[in-house]
Structure 1
Amino acid sequence: MKILIVEDEIGISNFLSQGLQEEGFTVDVANQGDLGLQKALTEKYDLILLDWMLPKLSGLEICLKIREQNKVVPILFLTAKDTVQETIEALQSGANDYIKKPFSFEELLERIKVHFRTATHSEVLSLGTIKIDLGKRKVFQNDSEVIFTQKEFDLLAYLVKNKGTICSRNKIIEDVWDIHFEYDSGVIDVFMNAIRKKLNLTPDVPLIKTIRGVGYIAEDNHE
């Protein structure tokens, strides 16, 4: 497994590089934003660790540009920024995860392992005219592919896997975001709005219903 670290603090990048190499990963390091973007777009990585505040180009800009190229590599932000709005901004840019500095290497390693637990089969889920290929991580509607960010895909797949069951906000945060402490679940609404917009899920064709004060439910029967 090959990991790219984009981090301008030499001490942190060296610490992470050494630790990950000891765990058996192949590691590349870029200490400037523009160099990190160049590596991300021209080389193949299994995961990217991305600082937010970088010289030349910010981590947020890098993440957006990577997703503009439809690259689906998992991206984990490593940053001292920690407000709810900043977290939402990072996730909306296409990041898969967000870990606040300072952090323990053990926690980071476990989060990395979570993102490497990809589907090894071609199970396909369905919801109305929507098809979700878990193995290829692709979504189709009426046989046309709809492009989703990593986290949008994860949220949609989770709701459809649990079709017919009300999924509470707390459970979604735990299972999709892998966050097991009190957290503002308003971020879920941001992603649900994006999913509904991309799939044209109007009130007349809900498929995924909001259960006020509780969470969401995916249902084929939308009568």
Structure 2
Amino acid sequence: MLAVRNLCVRYGRTTVLDDVSFELDDGEILTLVGPTGCGKTTTLRVVAGLERPSAGTLEIDGVHVDRDRFVPPEKRRTGLVFQDFALFPHLSVAENIGFRVRDRARVTHWMRVLGIETLADAYPDTLSGGQKQRVALARSLAHEPSLILLDEPLSNLDAALKAELRWEIRAALKEAGVGALWVTHDQDEALSIGDRVGIMRTGRLEQLGPPEQCFSAPASRFVAQFL
């Protein structure tokens, strides 16, 4: 469903991503984790269509992307969940979720699944951080994307809420049966949420595998220390 092959991103003489390759299956959650500046967010931005690759290819649900064939974000059938929620302040919860969604039943369904039905008429400035993130996720899922991209979705929440919401988001993604690429700097979050985990360092994938394998059989000293 998503295949990344030999992906490179360079800004002048600076290499931000260096020969990154991985695949993501339908319904699978892949978490990318690593220290600040390791390239995980750049990887997500290239998949989303917010950055252009310098080399390598992407295949997103049959859509081919490379340096010479750029496909804009709206043509990629991806949903993007930002860390700052990115809700429309002048629209209610139901209107945010239903923006450009023709089937209103999908709006109702995801509000129910994520426990925000009673907030349908509320506006973003009245919501807590956790409620805003549920709305942002519901908005993405209501469009029935082929792939969900989550950029540090819990980083603006307190520790207690993070622990609760990570499982709600995981359950919603599994119910939707949609593949997800989840970027985080939190090792606990990456290991507990991901079906597979990719540990990144200085633009490269140091290790990619099931969480228990990465933790118990690290491929390098860096992975061992980081996890």
TM-score computed with the length of structure 2 as normaliser: 0.31
Structure with the larger RCO, 1 or 2 (CA within 8 Å, 6+ apart) = 2
Q: TM-score, normalised by structure 1?
A: 0.32
